[in-house]
């Protein structure tokens, strides 16, 4: 049965990079047996211009009906003076909340060909391939009570609440164990169980869930040690799972190991593995419309979409191998170009990936 994918190009470089990713999907449909229907809708600034709202009802309805969503990026100078409640970014947050996308998957991936792009020594990061699974809709970012109060002595005091229920921990743990099963079958759960009762419970529940996945090797690290290990010897990790705030920090740290924002995809999943897939970068208004943007993060987001929402692991592998091949051929957009190299355009890079798909068995 054919699966439906909603395409949301968004703003800035969004339409340019998404166009290249759509070429990949269409090629897989026409030549490699992928059964998908594609439709397109407005989100972010483009939707504000057309309808006055960053997330029109029609877009939300289409997003709810689709099996997966591919998003470019939203935002730009043009909408920066708008009230925060109707800015382009609200479209994205609205989609995450309305679709219940509680699991954020962010790979930190470094193709060996780009090892020099990292600020760490090439031998430490070459071939790096970590997946960070971050809980996205709970924890201290959402816990109540929260606020700033004035004490009896007139001093102000800020406070937030770190809270996780067993069911919230259990569902993110399942996502992480299942992701590990599709990779190298190792999962590291990150907490601060020596200090925070809430994450003591996190550790207990993750360990319980682990008994359902005997094929996955589970380990635990305190978050301070995890941060240190990520910089010291990042290749020891396969999948990491952690809370909203720890994941926020560790996933940014891990993405910088790979040095290039134009290369990294992400996924946000609901309980049924329906997901929204997008590059981790923004709309790059400084280079929008110039055919300069790197489309590979968006193309790698297509690979994640195939793997996690469509169950097409072989095609996902093919897309990732095609990206590797174009890098081996020496193609570089400006953001990953070394001094003296000549950059290729967005379109040339996209076309090269499509061509490489056919060369891979
Ligand atoms: P950004 O990620 O858009 O850009 C940061 C720098 O990286 C810029 O120099 C840009 O040219 C470069 N860059 C980003 N993606 C690239 C690509 N694919 N190829 C080559 N170079 C690339 O971050 P920013 O400048 O802080 O934000 C710009 C706009 O994007 C803002 O409106 C912001 O709110 C929005 N934003 C959106 C998302 C999203 O849609 N998920 C995420 C972050 C920022």
Domain spans in the chain, listed from the N-terminal domain onward? 1-102+270-361, 111-129+139-260
pLDDT band per the 50, 70, 90 thresholds, residue 142 = confident
**Atom 1 in ligand 1: residue holding the nearest Cα:** 282
Q: pLDDT-derived band of residue 360, with 50, 70 and 90 as boundaries?
A: confident
Q: Are 124 and 152 in contact (CB under 8 A)?
A: no
Residue of 3, 78, 235, 248 marked active site:
248
What pLDDT, on a 0 to 100 scale, did the predictor assign at position 42?
Answer: 98
Supply the DSSP symbol for 58.
Answer: H
289: left (phi over 0), alpha (psi -120 to 50) or beta: left
Residue labelled with tokens 């998003």: 71
> 284 C-alpha to center of ligand 1: Å?
4
Confidence of residue 174 (pLDDT cuts 50, 70, 90): very high
- Which CATH architecture best describes the domain 1-102+270-361? 3-Layer(aba) Sandwich (3.40)
d(CA 42, CA 40): 7
**N-to-C CA span, the chain:** 24
d(CA 200, CA 214): 22
Instruction: Give the tens place of pLDDT for each residue, 294-305.
Output: 999 999 999 999
Residue 343, token pair as written in the block: 């950059």
109 alpha-carbon distance from chain centroid: 12
Of 87, 102, 131, which is closest to residue 283 (Cα–Cα)? 87
Domain 1-102+270-361 and domain 111-129+139-260, same fold? Reply is yes
Q: How far apart are CA 357 and CA 236, in angstroms?
A: 30
Please confirm, yes or no, whether 317 is among the known catalytic residues.
Answer: no
Q: Give yes or no for residue 117 having a pLDDT over 80.
A: no
Rounded Cα distance, 46 and 42, in Å = 6
User: Cα of 337 to ligand 1 centre, how many Å?
Assistant: 18
Nearest to 19 by CA among 302, 253, 248: 302
Closest alpha carbon to 346 in 357, 356, 333, 337: 333
Residue 72 token pair = 């470019």
Residue 227: both structure tokens together: 């941060």
Helix (H) or strand (E) holding 30: helix 14-31
Each residue's pLDDT tens digit, 158-167: 999 999 999 9
Chosen CATH of 111-129+139-260 out of 3.10.450.30, 3.30.360.10, 3.40.718.10, 3.40.50.300: 3.40.718.10
Ligand 1 shell residues, CB under 6 Å? 13, 17, 73-76, 89, 92, 261-262, 278, 281-287, 293-294, 297, 335
* Calpha distance 248→268 (Å, rounded): 13
CA of 32 to the centre of ligand 1 (A): 32
Token digits of residue 141: 């970012």
Angle at 90 between CA 87 and CA 95, to 5 degrees: 150
pTM: 0.89
How confident is the model over 36-56, as pLDDT tens digits? 999 999 999 999 999 999 999
Tokens at residue 79, please? 């909408």
> Quick check: 218 pLDDT over 80?
yes
Alpha-carbon gap, residue 21 to 16, rounded angstroms: 9
Position 341 scores a pLDDT of: 87
pLDDT at 292 over 80: yes
Bridge partners for 157 per DSSP: 149
How open is the CA angle 174-177-178, to the nearest 5 degrees?
Answer: 85
Query: Mean pLDDT score of the chain, rounded to an integer?
Result: 94
What phi and psi values does residue 100 have, to the nearest 5 degrees? Answer: 65, 45
Q: Residue 305 and residue 22: Cα distance in Å, rounded? A: 12
Nearest-angstrom CA–CA distance, 201 and 305 = 32
> Which tokens go with 95?
């989609």
């Amino acid at each position: 049965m054919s699966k439906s994918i909603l395409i949301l190009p968004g703003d800035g470089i969004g339409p340019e990079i998404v166009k290249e990713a759509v070429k990949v999907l269409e090629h897989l449909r026409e030549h490699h047996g992928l059964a998908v229907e594609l439709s397109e809708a407005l989100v972010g600034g483009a939707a504000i211009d057309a309808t006055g709202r960053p997330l029109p009802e029609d877009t939300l309805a289409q997003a709810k009906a689709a099996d997966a969503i591919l998003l470019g990026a939203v935002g730009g100078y043009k909408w920066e003076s708008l009230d925060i409640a109707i800015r382009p970014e609200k479209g994205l947050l609205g989609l995450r909340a309305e679709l219940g996308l509680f699991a954020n998957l962010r790979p930190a991936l470094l193709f060996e060909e780009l090892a020099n792009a990292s600020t760490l020594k090439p031998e430490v990061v070459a071939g790096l391939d970590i997946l960070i699974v971050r809980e996205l809709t709970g924890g201290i970012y959402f816990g109540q009570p929260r606020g700033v109060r004035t004490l009896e002595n007139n001093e102000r005091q800020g406070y937030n609440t770190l809270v996780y229920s067993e069911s919230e921990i259990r569902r993110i743990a399942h996502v992480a164990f299942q992701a590990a099963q599709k990779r190298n079958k190792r999962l590291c759960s990150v907490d601060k169980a020596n200090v925070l009762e809430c994450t003591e419970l996190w550790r207990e529940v993750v360990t319980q869930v682990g008994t359902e996945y005997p094929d996955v090797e589970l380990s635990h690290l305190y978050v301070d040690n995890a941060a240190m290990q990520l910089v010291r010897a990042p290749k020891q990790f396969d999948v990491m799972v952690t809370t909203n705030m720890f994941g926020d920090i560790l996933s940014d740290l891990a993405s910088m190991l790979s040095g290039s924002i134009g290369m990294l995809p992400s996924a946000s999943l609901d309980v049924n593995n329906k997901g929204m897939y997008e590059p981790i970068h923004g709309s790059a208004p400084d280079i929008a419309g110039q055919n300069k943007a790197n489309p590979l993060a968006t193309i790698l987001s297509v690979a994640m979409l195939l793997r996690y929402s469509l169950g097409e692991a072989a095609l996902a592998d093919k897309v990732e191998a095609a990206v590797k091949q174009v890098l081996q051929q020496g193609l570089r957009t400006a953001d990953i170009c070394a001094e003296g190299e000549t950059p290729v355009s967005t379109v040339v890079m996209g076309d090269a990936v499509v061509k490489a798909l056919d060369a891979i068995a």
